[in-house]
Structure 1
Amino acid sequence: MTIHTTMQNQSSFSRRMSVVDGLLSEVGRAIQVLDGSVHAGRPNPAGKRRVPTTPVAARPELTAAEQKHAAGLMRVNHVGEICAQALYRGQALLCGDAAIQKLFVKAANEEVDHLVWCRQRLVELESRPSLLNPLWYAGSFSLGLLASRAGTAKNLGFMAETERQVEEHLDEHLKELPQTDERSRTIVAQMRDDEIGHRTTAETNGADKLGPILRLAMRGMSKVMTVTAYRI
């Protein structure tokens, strides 16, 4: 065996080990995301929840039906952030462009803020995250890995289309959330603004527009997720 061949084998082995190390690291990250131990980098835009001190202030801001509906919507939003976190970390893991890889990691870190805010609001609404979050995370991470192997432009295109559909979804939630639920509405509005920023970043860095069949498939999967997460 020549020295050149030996060096090639060592390089190939190093790349494989790097991928394995990355996957092991992602397993640890997934556990943190799913058990709620991750921390937001920014304060909750809704601020700290005030404790009522007078009989008037103690009146509930939401009826029982409104609270249940708001909790369902915020659970859907929490699942969306579980998916976004997994998707972007999957897209970053096998991305061959270092600069674009950093872009995905940055977006994933910003999505952690949304994840934490939604979870906090679910607690305030006396509700819980989706019981299917591990399934959502695994599926989205796998999609991210597939997208990362389609080339930089397609990888970014997947991010841009994802954010475009999320924007529409959050706009709908702002219409559906009770007007008196100012805390949920404030969180969702900030999330929407951040998602617009992520889409714009992807587009300015050369995102390709995805084909109609793939966009339709993404909408279909999103519909299944939202209907299921609202209840489970």
Structure 2
Amino acid sequence: MRTRQLTLLDRLLAEADTVLRTLHNRGQPASRQSPAAGHRDSTFSDSQRRHIAGLMRVNHTGEVCAQALYQGQALTAKLPEVREEMRDAAREEEDHLAWCVERLRELDSRPSHLNPAWYGLSFLLGAGAGAVGDKWSLGFVAATEERVCRHLKDHLKQLPIDDRKSQLILQQMLADEERHGENALAAGGADLPAPVKELMGAVSKLMTRSSYYL
């Protein structure tokens, strides 16, 4: 039986469905069990709980942005193997989304209200990077994952020492993100110019500060 090739319209409709699922926290269920499963929560003060929730909200927004970046890049990538690389990474990021949402609910909190805006910006950046060329698109992935890993390492230091559940989630996310960055470079990603990395850093700081509270 012949498999029908997806048209651009087919791909756009599929991406639109993913957008709605991501922003309404109704994405695909995690393919892997949460690293925090089976661990009991500790008792936190109100200020500790708010801080943990703020950190997890930032990480959730980071995963929303990652979904958008990968989807935008997969839409405009020129080589089929690069498109598949983006989709594979996006599938793992879906686990991260589910884990962060679950943790936020446990903390009686919610995702950032700014996620739709960050999603739109990230999608445009990803589509633009894919349109420029696959080596730059992959380089963009590597640079993005490098910055995400810095955030995760910093958040692991900020978490209360007895918040084992959040620690386990972020540790697994860190391992996945480091691998995504390595895979992007191994697939031919180019090192981005310093001004581009500086701009990415500025945007990342704005996202982090706003998502923590909003």
TM-score range relative to shorter protein:
over 0.9
SS at match of 1:62: coil
Please say if residues 62 and 180 of structure 1, whose CA atoms lie closer than 8 Å, have aligned partners that are also in contact: no
- The answer to whether 1:73 aligns with 2:55 is yes
**1:93-121 deviation digits (Å, cap 9, x = unpaired):** 11110011100000000000000000000
State how far apart, in whole Å, the 2-side matches of 1:83 and 1:104 are: 13
State how far apart, in whole Å, the 2-side matches of 1:137 and 1:120 are: 20
Amino acid at match of 1:44: S
- Give the paired residue count: 209
Aligned equivalent of 1:42: 32
Match of 2:44 among 36, 54, 62: 62
TM norm structure 1: 0.87
SS at match of 2:7: helix
- The answer to whether 1:211 aligns with 2:193 is yes
Structure 2 unpaired stretches of 5+: none
Please say if residues 156 and 167 of structure 2, whose CA atoms lie closer than 8 Å, have aligned partners that are also in contact: yes
- The answer to whether 1:102 aligns with 2:84 is yes
- The answer to whether 1:130 aligns with 2:112 is yes
Aligned equivalent of 1:18: 7
State how far apart, in whole Å, the 1-side matches of 2:120 and 2:14 are: 14
TM norm structure 2: 0.94
Larger radius of gyration: 1
State how far apart, in whole Å, the 1-side matches of 2:44 and 2:164 are: 10
Matches within 5 A, 1:112-127: 112-127=94-109
SS at match of 1:134: helix
Amino acid at match of 1:30: V
SS at match of 2:132: coil
**1:171-214 deviation digits (Å, cap 9, x = unpaired):** 00000111111100110010000000001101111110000000
SS at match of 1:149: helix
Structure 1 unpaired stretches of 5+: 1-14, 52-59
- The answer to whether 1:33 aligns with 2:6 is no
SS at match of 1:103: helix
Structure 1 residue 49, shift from structure 2 partner? 5.5
RMSD of the alignment, in Å? 1.5
Please say if residues 79 and 130 of structure 1, whose CA atoms lie closer than 8 Å, have aligned partners that are also in contact: yes
Amino acid at match of 1:18: T
Structure 1 residue 147, shift from structure 2 partner? 0.5
Aligned equivalent of 1:192: 174
